[in-house]
């Protein structure tokens, strides 16, 4: 028979078993962390009517979308989890309690140009809090707490959540009568890290934007505001009273910063940063980015913000909200690439592997059943192979415990349990084997999915 070459599409992550277990472990931490903060899981379809998914229309997204005809239907694969959320909330608003807090971890699709570390199918892990008409600012302070808790539970240590407020930026530009130019100015200011302050100022005064020296100076002074969160907020107080939008933004940012300690976020993991704007017009208040201190080059690993209107394309209902998204597939790729994954944790499909040394498997099966009843993930090797091949299988799996069961052990009601990491082997009763393995696993599973520097 002629064969088809088995292959996986470019831009689609497909992991080897051990890596998959590491990925799943990260997802489990995210689910647990999001749940701890009172978010409910949602699982919307991957396919939606194109008319619904592209209601907002236009932009980069539409070019990248996986869109196709099936029968009479014009269908598209979701490209993020926000639009499906907007659809869901608009569709079922009568049945939901607001604020509606949901998390969703799911695959999304974008036909981007394939390149290393970029994916066409990737997981996003989103949380959003949606209000009905209004949503209190305290919710904006809770988001960094969730990010902090989540990344800490994953094992990440050297990261920083950077926060700003679009109202402060927009209010500031309104003060200078530069509302119209604010987009171009922000895009230029965004290059600060790359090209330096002098060149940014030059660009601001160049023909395209055309600020005068005073305006450019004001902007350069503003974006130079730095220091502790208290110092930055203090410096911003100097602008109070010049524009109501600015004052509103400053009040919000001050409240967010004030509540953070009670939410358990240490000061050194949270930074008020006036250079954060987030490209999307979608955000109207608080904005967040999260950077790995040792890898600024990979950009933000968790971003989001406050928006005024989640679902204006579907409903007249005003649905403000605040949320964040982690691009999990890309994050996992980076963590693997940079050696952050904790390879000390068990990545074998089982905790214990029973190698029967008899032809009849009844005793080995009974032992497997006992171990499983005690919660020990157990494999039973039932193949009639040579001892060497059996051990080679155990080594390949990387299973932490191997249990040998021969005629002699069966006759004396014991099993030979070998700790594959230490090489130590003992003959014990099945009950003792359970205790021994469970104690060992407790030690083994203590670490976090990620290992970061202190």
If the CB atoms of residues 157 and 317 are measured against a copy of itself, the closer one turns out to be 317
User: Binding of a copy of itself at residue 135 (CB under 8 A)?
Assistant: yes
Q: Minimum Å distance from CB 42 to a copy of itself?
A: 6
Stretch 351-370 residues interacting with a copy of itself (CB under 8 A): 353, 361-363, 365-366, 368-369
Q: Does 109 bind a copy of itself (CB under 8 A)?
A: yes
Q: Is 413 exposed, middle or buried (0-12, 13-18, 19+ CB in 10 A)?
A: exposed
Cβ(29)–Cβ(146) below 8 Å:
no
> Interface with a copy of itself includes 259 (CB under 8 A)?
yes
Among candidate residues 16, 26, 17, the one with its CA nearest the CA of residue 327: 26
Going residue by residue from 19 to 48, which x/- string records binding to a copy of itself, judged by CB under 8 A?
A: -xx-xx----------xxxxxxxxxxxxxx
* Interface with a copy of itself, residue 72, by CB under 8 A: no
| 229-258: contacts with a copy of itself (CB under 8 A) | 258
- Which segment (142-150, 181-189, 190-198, 207-215) binds a copy of itself by CB under 8 A? 142-150
ω into 72 cis (within 30 of 0): no
Q: Is 282 in the site for a copy of itself (CB under 8 A)?
A: no
Q: How many CB atoms lie within 10 A of CB 39?
A: 21
Q: Is 215 annotated as a binding residue?
A: no
CB 341, min distance to a copy of itself, A: 16
What is the spatial distance between Cα 264 and Cα 454, in angstroms, rounded to a whole number?
A: 19
When binding is defined by CB under 8 A, the residue of 194, 386, 396, 453 that contacts a copy of itself is: 396
Cα distance between residue 212 and residue 416, in whole Å: 83
Of 322, 302, 310, nearest in space to 125 by CA: 302
227 vs 264, beta carbon nearer a copy of itself = 264
128 labelled ligand-binding: yes
Q: Of the ranges 132-140, 165-173, 206-214, 290-298, which one interacts with a copy of itself (CB under 8 A)?
A: 132-140
CA distance 189 to 207: 16
Within positions 143 to 162, which residues make up the interface with a copy of itself, using CB under 8 A? Answer: 145, 149
Nearest to 179 by CA among 188, 168, 170: 170
Neighbours of 246 (CB within 10 A): 23
Q: Is 278 annotated as a binding residue?
A: yes
Backbone angles phi, psi at 307, to 5 degrees: -130, 155
Would strands 67-70 and 121-130 be described as parallel, antiparallel, or unpaired? unpaired
Contact call for residues 121 and 107 (beta carbons, < 8 A): yes
Q: Which residue among 163, 232, 380, 403 contacts a copy of itself (CB under 8 A)?
A: 380
Instruction: Please say whether the beta carbons of 164 and 271 come within 8 A.
Output: no
Is 424 a binding residue for a copy of itself by CB under 8 A? The answer is no
Residue 124 marked in a binding site: yes
Q: Which of 61, 62, 80, 91 binds a copy of itself (CB under 8 A)?
A: 91
Neighbours of 427 (CB within 10 A): 14
If one asks whether residue 441 binds a copy of itself (CB under 8 A), the answer comes out as: no
The mark string for 158-197 relative to a copy of itself (x by CB under 8 A, - otherwise) is ----------------------------------------
d(CA 20, CA 28): 12
Q: Which is nearer to a copy of itself, 13 or 277 (CB)?
A: 13
Report the alpha-carbon distance of residue 266 to residue 453 in Å, rounded. 17
The residue within the footprint of a copy of itself, chosen from 61, 96, 175, 451 (CB under 8 A), is 96
CB of 453 to a copy of itself, least distance (A): 24
């Amino acid at each position: 028979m002629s064969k088809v070459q088995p292959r996986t599409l470019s831009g689609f992550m497909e992991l080897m078993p051990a890596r998959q277990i590491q990925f799943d472990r990260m997802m489990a931490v995210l689910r647990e962390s999001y749940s701890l903060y009172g978010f409910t899981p949602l699982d919307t379809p991957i396919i939606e009517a194109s008319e619904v998914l592209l209601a907002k229309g236009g932009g980069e997204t539409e070019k990248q979308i996986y869109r196709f005809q099936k029968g009479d239907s014009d269908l598209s694969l979701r490209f993020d989890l926000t639009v499906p959320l907007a659809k869901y909330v608009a569709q079922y608003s009568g049945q939901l309690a607001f604020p509606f807090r949901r998390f969703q971890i799911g695959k999304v699709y974008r036909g981007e140009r394939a390149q290393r570390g970029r994916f066409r199918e990737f997981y996003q892990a989103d949380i959003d809090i949606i209000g009905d008409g209004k949503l209190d600012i305290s919710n904006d302070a809770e988001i960094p707490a969730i990010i902090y808790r989540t990344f800490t539970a994953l094992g990440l240590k050297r990261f920083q959540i950077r926060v700003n407020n679009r109202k402060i930026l927009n209010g500031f530009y309104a003060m200078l009568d530069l509302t119209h130019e604010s987009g171009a100015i922000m895009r230029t200011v965004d290059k600060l890290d790359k090209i330096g302050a002098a060149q940014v100022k030059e660009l601001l005064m160049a023909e395209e934007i055309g600020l005068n020296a005073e305006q450019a100076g004001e902007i350069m002074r503003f974006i130079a505001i730095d220091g502790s969160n208290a110092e930055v907020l203090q410096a911003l107080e100097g602008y109070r009273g010049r524009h109501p939008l600015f004052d509103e933004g400053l009040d919000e940012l001050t409240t967010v910063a004030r509540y953070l300690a009670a939410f358990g976020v240490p000061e050194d993991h949270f930074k008020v940063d006036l250079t954060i704007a987030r490209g999307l017009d979608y955000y109207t208040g608080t904005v967040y980015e999260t950077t790995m201190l040792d890898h600024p080059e990979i950009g933000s690993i968790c971003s989001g913000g406050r928006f005024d209107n989640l679902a204006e394309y579907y409903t007249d209902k005003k649905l403000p909200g605040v949320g964040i998204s982690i691009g999990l597939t890309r994050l996992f790729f980076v963590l693997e690439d940079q050696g952050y994954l904790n390879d000390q944790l068990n990545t074998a499909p089982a905790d214990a592997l029973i190698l029967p040394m008899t032809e009849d498997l009844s005793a080995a099966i009974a032992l497997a059943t006992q171990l499983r009843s005690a919660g020990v993930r157990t494999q039973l090797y039932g193949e009639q192979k040579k001892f060497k091949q059996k051990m080679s299988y155990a080594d390949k799996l990387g299973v932490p415990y191997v249990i040998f069961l021969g005629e002699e052990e069966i006759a004396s009601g014991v099993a030979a349990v070998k700790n594959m990491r230490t090489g130590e082997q003992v003959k014990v009763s099945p009950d003792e084997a359970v205790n021994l393995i469970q104690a060992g696993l407790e030690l083994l599973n203590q670490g976090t999915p990620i290992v970061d520097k202190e």
